[in-house]
């Protein structure tokens, strides 16, 4: 296929490498002309994954990329920019979204912002550093267009990257957004050194919270026990690569959310997703106590007070 990856962050860079390894004619489109020029001249991304070779990947600005002629456009930009980017894309090629979040302005799932063209999303426990290095990984592709999902599955699956098809687009997108918020809380457990028991309990209850949200939105419960749910949640909450986990850890150690994001130097989606999810839960009339707690932390509550409030909740059945 002729594919353009829009967004030259870590995940966009790793995915461009994956596509090229599968034999696809791959272009990487950057917002910043200087960034695009550096990749084109050096064959590497100096800002993200600089050890990953991109010599067989064309690099340009978004405006100059061959998007109109592409057979597939992969979008790997922050959630806050997703809607603006997809609305400006020329042509009618299908969109494959890699962004894990919700639209901060409306609370909508990102796939709903794609108009008049087929759309699919890819999600799962896929840290860019490991995918770029060719380490084994698995993911799911979800779409309301089953033919598109199966075609992409066949085009992306390799000996190092195994792709499953999941028809539950709603569930996969909600998992991708909600797990980042739980990871912020898991990082807080690490920062306060509360132990593995506390972290395992929080992650488990976080999965319950995610599934409760999915049920209220009409998603399939099986999705939350799969790669997009439990799989992505585990790796995001435990891995040293996890930006959201690291941000939660830094906040627990005394940094402000803004300073934690600056220290990490990349987008921390959970920081913007948490209030959006909380607003959604209010509209749906469901309880998301961990998400609510994260929002309170971001508004200035101490983590010690949050731990006390969560542990002091009324006893109930599992």
Enumerate the active-site residues.
Answer: 179
- 114, 179 contact by CB (below 8 A): no
- 77, 6 contact by CB (below 8 A): yes
- 243, 264 contact by CB (below 8 A): yes
Question: Which residue is it, tokens 């749910």?
Answer: 229
Tell me the residue ranges of DSSP E strands in 198-257: none
Separation of alpha carbons 161 and 255, rounded Å: 37
Q: What single-letter DSSP state applies at residue 113?
A: G
**H and E: helices and strands count for the chain:** 14, 8
Separation of alpha carbons 190 and 237, rounded Å: 10
Separation of alpha carbons 135 and 248, rounded Å: 27
Per-residue exposure over 98-126, b if at least 16 CB sit within 10 Å of its own CB, e if not: bbbbbbbeebebbbebbeeebbbbbbbbb
- Phi and psi, residue 136, nearest 5°: -60, 140
Separation of alpha carbons 125 and 116, rounded Å: 30
């Amino acid at each position: 296929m002729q594919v353009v990856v829009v967004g030259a962050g870590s995940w966009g860079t790793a995915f461009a490498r994956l596509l090229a390894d599968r034999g696809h004619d791959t272009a990487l489109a950057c917002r910043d002309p200087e960034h695009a020029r550096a990749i084109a001249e050096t064959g590497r991304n100096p800002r993200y994954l600089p050890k990953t070779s991109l010599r067989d990947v064309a690099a340009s600005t978004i405006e100059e990329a061959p998007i109109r002629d592409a057979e597939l456009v992969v979008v790997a930009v922050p959630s806050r920019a997703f809607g603006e980017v997809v609305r400006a894309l020329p042509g009618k090629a299908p969109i494959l979204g890699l962004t894990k979040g919700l639209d901060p302005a409306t609370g909508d799932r990102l796939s709903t912002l794609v108009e008049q063209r087929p759309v699919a999303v890819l999600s799962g426990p896929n840290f860019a550093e490991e995918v770029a290095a060719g380490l084994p990984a698995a993911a799911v592709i979800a779409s309301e267009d089953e033919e598109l999902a199966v075609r992409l599955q066949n085009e992306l699956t390799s000996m190092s990257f195994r792709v499953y098809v999941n028809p539950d687009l709603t569930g996969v997108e909600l998992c991708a957004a909600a797990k980042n918020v739980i990871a912020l809380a898991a990082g807080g457990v690490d920062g306060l050194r509360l132990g593995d028991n506390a972290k395992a309990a929080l992650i488990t209850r976080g999965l319950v919270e995610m599934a409760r949200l999915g049920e209220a939105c009409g998603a399939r419960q099986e999705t939350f026990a799969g790669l997009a749910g439990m799989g992505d949640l585990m790796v995001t909450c435990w891995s040293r690569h996890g930006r959201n986990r690291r941000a939660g850890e830094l906040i627990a150690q005394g940094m402000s959310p803004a300073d934690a994001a600056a220290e990490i130097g990349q987008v921390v989606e959970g920081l913007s997703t948490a209030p959006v999810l909380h607003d959604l839960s209010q509209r749906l009339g469901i309880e998301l106590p961990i998400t609510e707690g994260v929002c309170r932390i971001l508004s200035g509550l101490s983590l010690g007070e949050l731990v006390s409030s969560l542990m002091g909740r009324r006893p109930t059945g599992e």
